[in-house]
Structure 1
Amino acid sequence: MKNSLIAIAAVLACASAAHAQSNVQLTGLVDMYAGSLKAPGTDRTGVVGSGGLTTSWWGLKGTEDLGGGLKADFNITAFFRADSGEMNRGIPGDTFFSRDANVGLSGSFGRVGLGRGMAPNFLPTILTNPFGDSFTVSPLVLHANVPNFSAGWTNAQVTTGTDTGWSNQIVYSTPDFSGLKANVHYQFGEQSASGQRGKKNVGANVLYGAGPLNLTAFYERVQIAGAQGHTVQDTKSDWMVGGSYNFNVVKLYGTYGQAKVKAQTLPVDIKNTTYSLGLDVPVTGTAGTFKAAAAHTKSEVGLDEGKRTTYTLGYDHFLSKRTDVYGAVMYDRVKWTDTKSGTSVAVGIRHRF
Structure 2
Amino acid sequence: MRRLAISSFTLAMLSVASTAQAQSSVTLYGEIDNALAYYNNVGHASLVTMQGADLTTNQWGIKGKEDLGGGFQAIFNLENGFDINTGKLRQGGREFGKNAWVGLASTSLGTVTIGRQLDPTVDLVQPLTADGYGPAFTTPGDADNNDNTFRVDNSIKYTSPTYGGLQYELMYGLGGVAGNVSSQEMSSAAASYTYGGLSLAVGYVFAKNDSATGVGTADQTQNNSVTPLFGGVAFVGSRMITHVAAQYVIGPFTANVRYSNAEWKPYAHFAAFNRTENFNTGATSLEYQVTPSLAVNVGYTYMRSSGTSSATYNTVAAGTEYFLSKRTTVYAIGGYSHAHGTTFSEDGNSIVAAGGSVGDLESSSSTPNQVALILGITHKF
Shorter-chain TM-score category? 0.7 to 0.9
Alignment correspondent of 2:206: 221
Alignment of 1:203-214 (within 5 A): 203-214=188-199
Residue 24 of structure 2 corresponds to residue 22 of structure 1? yes
Task: Quote how far apart the aligned CAs of 1:133 are.
Answer: 6.7
Would the alpha carbon gap of residues 39 and 291 (structure 1) be closer, same or farther in structure 2, given more than 3 Å must change? farther
Question: Which sections of structure 1, spanning at least 5 residues, go unmatched?
Answer: 146-157
SS in 1 for 2:236: strand
**What amino acid maps onto 2:50 in structure 1?**
V
Amino acid at match of 2:353: D
Matches within 5 A, 1:168-207: 168-192=154-178, 198-207=183-192
Mapping for residues 247-258 of structure 1, pairs under 5 Å? 247-258=250-261
Structure 1's 27 and 249: CA in aligned 2 closer, same or farther, altered over 3 A?
closer
Q: Which of residues 306, 315, 322 is equivalent to 2:311?
A: 306
* Pairing of 1:32-181 with structure 2 (within 5 A): 32-38=34-40, 41=43, 43-88=45-90, 91=91, 93-107=92-106, 108-124=108-124, 126-132=126-132, 134-135=134-135, 137-140=136-139, 142-143=140-141, 145=142, 158-160=143-145, 163-181=149-167
* Match for residue 276 of structure 1 among 283, 286, 289: 283
Is the partner of 1:52 in helix, strand or coil? Answer: coil
Q: Deviations over 1:121-166 (max 9, x none)?
A: 323453233341733x2233x44x2xxxxxxxxxxxx234994321
Paired position in structure 2 for 1:289 = 295
CA distance in 1, matches of 2:370, 2:14: 57
1:38 deviates by 4.6
In the aligned structure 2, how far is the partner of 1:311 from the partner of 1:230? 28
Q: Post-superposition shift, 1:19?
A: 4.0
Task: State yes or no: 1:347 paired with 2:375.
Answer: yes
- Aligned-pair RMSD on alpha carbons? 2.9
Identity between Structure 1 and Structure 2 (%): 25
Over 3 Å counting, the alpha-carbon distance change for 1:195 and 1:133 in structure 2 is: farther
Structure 2: which 5+ residue stretches go unaligned?
221-234, 343-351, 355-367
Residue-pair matches, total: 329
Deviations 1:148-192 (A, max 9, x none): xxxxxxxxxx23499432111000000111121111010111123
Structure 2 residue 247 is the aligned partner of structure 1 residue 244: yes
- Distance of 2:36 and 2:149 partners within structure 1: 26
TM-score (norm 2): 0.77
2:200 counterpart SS class: strand
Is 2:236 the counterpart of 1:233? Answer: yes
Q: Alpha-carbon deviations, 1:185-207, whole Å to 9, x = none?
A: 10111123x76754310011112
* Residues 40, 334 of structure 1: 8 Å contact kept: no
Matches within 5 A, 1:254-269: 254-266=257-269, 267-269=274-276
Letter in 2 for 1:76: L
Query: C-alpha distance in 2, partners of 1:317/1:53?
Result: 12
Aligned-partner Cα distance in 2 for 1:47–1:15: 50
Q: Flag the 1:312–1:334 CA change in 2: closer, same or farther, 3 A.
A: same
User: Conserved in 2, the CA contact under 8 Å of 1:99 and 1:117?
Assistant: yes
Task: Label 1:116 to 1:86 Cα distance change in 2 as closer, same or farther (>3 A).
Answer: same
Deviations 1:270-311 (A, max 9, x none): 11111101010121x452111111111111123x41122221
What letter matches 2:264 in structure 1?
Answer: V
Q: Show CA shifts across 1:14-35 (max 9, x none).
A: 7665444321111111111112
Residues 186 and 217 in structure 2, CA contact (< 8 A), matched pair in contact too: no
Letter in 1 for 2:132: G
Q: CA deviation at 1:211?
A: 1.9
Shift of 1:316: 0.9
What's the offset of the Cα at 1:8?
11
- Alpha-carbon separation, structure 1, partners of 2:78 and 2:172: 20
Q: Retained in 1: the 8 A contact 2:34–2:378?
A: yes
Deviations 1:60-101 (A, max 9, x none): 11111000111110001111222222222xx5x241101111
Amino acid at match of 1:316: E
* 3-state SS, counterpart of residue 267 of structure 2: coil
